[in-house]
Structure 1
Amino acid sequence: MTDPWLAPDAPVPPRYGELATPSSPYQSAPHSNRPFPGSNPGQAWSPPPKPGLIPLRPIGFGTLLGASFRVLRRNPKATFGSGLIVQAVIMLVTVVIVGLVTFWALDRVDSAPLDQKDAVIAGSVLAGLLSAIIPIALSLIASALLQAVIVVEVARATLGEKLRLGTLWRRAATRLWPLTLWTLLLGGALLVGVAVLAGIVVLLISVGGAVGLVAGVLIGVFGGLLLAAASAFLFTKTSVVPSLIVLEELGLRASVIRSWSLTRGYFWRTLGILLLITVIVQVISQIISMPVSLLMGIGTTLVDPAGAFMEQSSIILTVISLIIAIPVAAVAAVVQSATIALVYLDLRMRKEGLDLELARYVESAAQGGDVPDPYLAPTVSGGYSAV
């Protein structure tokens, strides 16, 4: 006899001593693989994805600032290690090449006859300038490589992935030359602007007399302010070009056009973030380096007050300065590169809904799905040319 209080379609409870059979989706044996109510019956449950570097939503100001430094802590071997290698190579090569050429030039000037001293000095100065070409070229390439490495790290860390140093370097190397060319163009444009302004000022001061002196000073001051404002505007509007080159695999022209478009409407916010990070990094660097420099100067005076071991003291001071300067420069470069990558992600989340694409990618990847790289989507649909 059935219970009259049971609904007509309710399962019949087992009698005493009988084993219950899970005939309803709400009845399942412990630790079974049966799906939960409301889930897809043909798909097994999978754990939620691990949290990434930032929440998958438009990034707040405080979150962005914190994430710029959190990049170092989340994957220190790949990020700080890359920065340390790059900065060490740049500084050591610069010190070795420029130091040897400078030592040779000074020795040559000291041993030159009086009637040939002017020519020797001019040749030594030229040799010193030429010796700086190699470190500058190496610095451009190494800085571009580090920037590409950090862009890739930030992009993959946002998806909850943690790549090794070798993997990051291999991925970054595929976009090294376009990024190096962009760094060269940006630095060259600034150098041309400074050279033109300096040339005008020198010309006015040298040929204009008192009036030319006043005009040269005024043009130098106001021209310098105008050049600084133009540089800040250009750098802000093209700030996400490195991320576009690396992540979306665009060419230089397409990257500049797209960066100009992404920063439209967010110019002052982008400029404020970049300036604030730069100020924070510089202040921290000075806080670390200035006391050490003062202590080294005082220590040298106390140990060798007569200057009898001037050459040895200079070598020791140089080595200590490098030991301190290289890690500080590595941290600064990583943080500033990470900030640029985070600004790119924030702009795309706000203007293109990238956060939804990233969330869809993370969910599909966690379930074993084969999904395309979400950062490449605009390249396919937007008509931008890749290199």
Structure 2
Amino acid sequence: MTDGPSHPYPPPGAPAPADPVPPGAAGPAFPPPGAPPPGAPPADGPGAAPPGWAPYPTGPGPVPGLMLGAAHKPGALPLRPLNLGNIYDGAFRIIRFNPKATVGAAVMVTAVAMLIPVLVTVAISLTIGIAVDASGEVDPDASVAELVGALAAYGSLLLSLVVAQVGVVFVTGMVAHVTRAAAVGRRLGLGEAWAATRGKRWRLLALTLILNLTYLALVTVYVLAWVVVVAISDGPWPVVVWGLVTVPAFIALCCWLWIRYYYLPVPALMLEPVGVFGAIGRGWRLSARQFWRTFGIALLTVLIAQFAGGLLSFPVSIVGNVVALAVPEYSALALILTQAVALVLQNAFVAPFLAAVTSVQYVDLRMRKEAFDVELMREAGIVPA
């Protein structure tokens, strides 16, 4: 007969196990509030966090050794290479649990920017008037003062769109910090996310300017090439052949540069100790041999964001057109006001969602190529068993 399982209790007469904490002795020491969790990297020396990372003023981190399913997940993202579902789930979690630093920031900067044309149009409409009919077209038969009013109203709208775009650039930089903090279980408020961008704001504007000027130069060269081809062609067939060959090639080139050159430098600039051109180089290297996957997710995200943004802004635009037809003398005010409200609603979803997905893809590519998940686990205080 085989022996059965051993009894869980010691046999009679056996010595009792030693008490880990003798009576009257001090219990185990716990770290004070706000101290880094066990296993977290020191402030300096070996194992320290990479230079250039902002210290996020938050409370104690996740419990060491926390395991969710097959991957460590101290925060919004599982710390392993991500699939499409993980990326979108993480992006929505980041927005949901950091609403002030994502949606709130996007709404605030857009609303402040769009307040300029609304105030200008109200002042002009109540004084000299605006030479705009119910359809929004400028009336050429109006007085000079009304034509100047129309120019001021639409000029202020154009200026505000530029200011709003600059604000969205800063929101994108803030969301990059929010994403990195959320990956290790930290939650950033609006002030903390803004403070984390200190020292990189002018570089962020310079990076955005360089990227956009590059695309503008590319488009300008292509348009000039069209002008030259049309000018030297004797008939329509050379122009048709030129278009059939170069239009698909130009679109493919723009898509390729979008991912390799334009897509990832912003989170790289915000989260790594690099400059403007260093961030462009980081984005280029991270997207190497990952083009189609990154491009597919990025394109799907843009389509979703634009569709959702259109659904949010469409009812407001309809209301503006109806009001402009009902009260023609205030048609310009109605159109600009509804345009401002529609842009605020659109940016409230589109800007945080696009920025969050881009930042999560940046984290995913670093986990795939550079074992970034190990660094994040160490920062979160996770000690694998």
TM-score, scaled relative to structure 2: 0.70
1:71 maps to 2:94: yes
1:194 maps to 2:197: no
Tell me: CA distance 1:225–1:176, structure 2 relative to 1, closer, same or farther (3 Å).
farther
Asked if the contact 2:176/2:355 (under 8 Å) is kept, the reply is yes
State the match for 2:353 in structure 1: 335
Provide the rounded CA distance (Å) in 2 between the counterparts of 1:242 and 1:129.
Answer: 31
Provide the rounded CA distance (Å) in 1 between the counterparts of 2:374 and 2:210.
Answer: 35
2:79 pairs, out of 56, 63, 69, with 56
Asked if the contact 2:114/2:161 (under 8 Å) is kept, the reply is no
Deviations along 1:154-203, one digit per CA (max 9) or x if unpaired, are 01111111122112112214211112111111111111222222233344
Provide the rounded CA distance (Å) in 1 between the counterparts of 2:298 and 2:27.
Answer: 50
State the match for 1:268 in structure 2: 292
Asked if the contact 1:197/1:223 (under 8 Å) is kept, the reply is no
Asked if the contact 1:68/1:335 (under 8 Å) is kept, the reply is yes
Provide the rounded CA distance (Å) in 1 between the counterparts of 2:220 and 2:366.
Answer: 36
1:249 maps to 2:273: yes
State the match for 1:309 in structure 2: 327
1:23 pairs, out of 18, 23, 28, with 18
State the match for 2:203 in structure 1: 178
Tell me: CA distance 1:209–1:261, structure 2 relative to 1, closer, same or farther (3 Å).
closer
Structure 2: which amino acid aligns with 1:228? I
Q: Which has the higher helix share?
A: 1
Asked if the contact 1:83/1:333 (under 8 Å) is kept, the reply is yes
Q: Give the SS at the match of 1:58.
A: coil
Deviations along 1:88-132, one digit per CA (max 9) or x if unpaired, are 2343446667997x95896898557xxxxxxxx9x9999999878
State the match for 1:16 in structure 2: none
State the match for 2:112 in structure 1: 89
State the match for 2:364 in structure 1: 346
Tell me: CA distance 1:214–1:55, structure 2 relative to 1, closer, same or farther (3 Å).
same
Provide the rounded CA distance (Å) in 2 between the counterparts of 1:24 and 1:333.
Answer: 58
Offset at residue 264 of structure 1 (A): 1.6
Provide the rounded CA distance (Å) in 2 between the counterparts of 1:309 and 1:126.
Answer: 20
Structure 2: which amino acid aligns with 1:244? A
Provide the rounded CA distance (Å) in 2 between the counterparts of 1:312 and 1:108.
Answer: 17
TM-score, scaled relative to structure 1: 0.70
Q: Give the SS at the match of 1:265.
A: coil
Q: Which moved more, 1:91-100 or 1:224-233?
A: 91-100
Offset at residue 332 of structure 1 (A): 0.3
Tell me: CA distance 1:216–1:97, structure 2 relative to 1, closer, same or farther (3 Å).
farther
Structure 2: which amino acid aligns with 1:157? A
Q: Which moved more, 1:286-295 or 1:325-334?
A: 286-295
Q: Give the SS at the match of 1:162.
A: coil
2:377 pairs, out of 359, 362, 373, with 359
Tell me: CA distance 1:350–1:189, structure 2 relative to 1, closer, same or farther (3 Å).
same
Tell me: CA distance 1:47–1:198, structure 2 relative to 1, closer, same or farther (3 Å).
closer
Q: What runs of 5+ residues in structure 1 fail to find an aligned partner?
A: 14-21, 36-42, 113-120, 366-387
Tell me: CA distance 1:140–1:80, structure 2 relative to 1, closer, same or farther (3 Å).
closer
Asked if the contact 2:131/2:150 (under 8 Å) is kept, the reply is no
Higher relative contact order (CA 8 A, sep 6+): 2
Provide the rounded CA distance (Å) in 2 between the counterparts of 1:317 and 1:66.
Answer: 36
Offset at residue 72 of structure 1 (A): 1.6
TM-align CA RMSD: 4.1
State the match for 2:180 in structure 1: 155
Q: Give the SS at the match of 2:178.
A: helix
Taking the TM superposition and a 5 Å limit, the aligned residue runs for 1:104-123 are: 110-111=142-143
Alignment coverage as a number of residue pairs: 324
Offset at residue 357 of structure 1 (A): 1.3
State the match for 2:52 in structure 1: none
State the match for 2:309 in structure 1: 285
State the match for 2:49 in structure 1: none
State the match for 1:12 in structure 2: 15
Q: Which moved more, 1:308-317 or 1:172-181?
A: 308-317
Q: Give the SS at the match of 1:161.
A: coil
Tell me: CA distance 1:219–1:91, structure 2 relative to 1, closer, same or farther (3 Å).
farther
Asked if the contact 1:98/1:132 (under 8 Å) is kept, the reply is no
Q: Give the SS at the match of 2:381.
A: helix
Provide the rounded CA distance (Å) in 2 between the counterparts of 1:310 and 1:132.
Answer: 19
1:258 maps to 2:276: no
Offset at residue 294 of structure 1 (A): 4.0
**% of aligned pairs identical?**
28
Q: What runs of 5+ residues in structure 2 fail to find an aligned partner?
A: 1-8, 30-37, 40-61, 67-72, 133-137
Q: Give the SS at the match of 1:54.
A: coil
1:143 pairs, out of 159, 162, 168, with 168
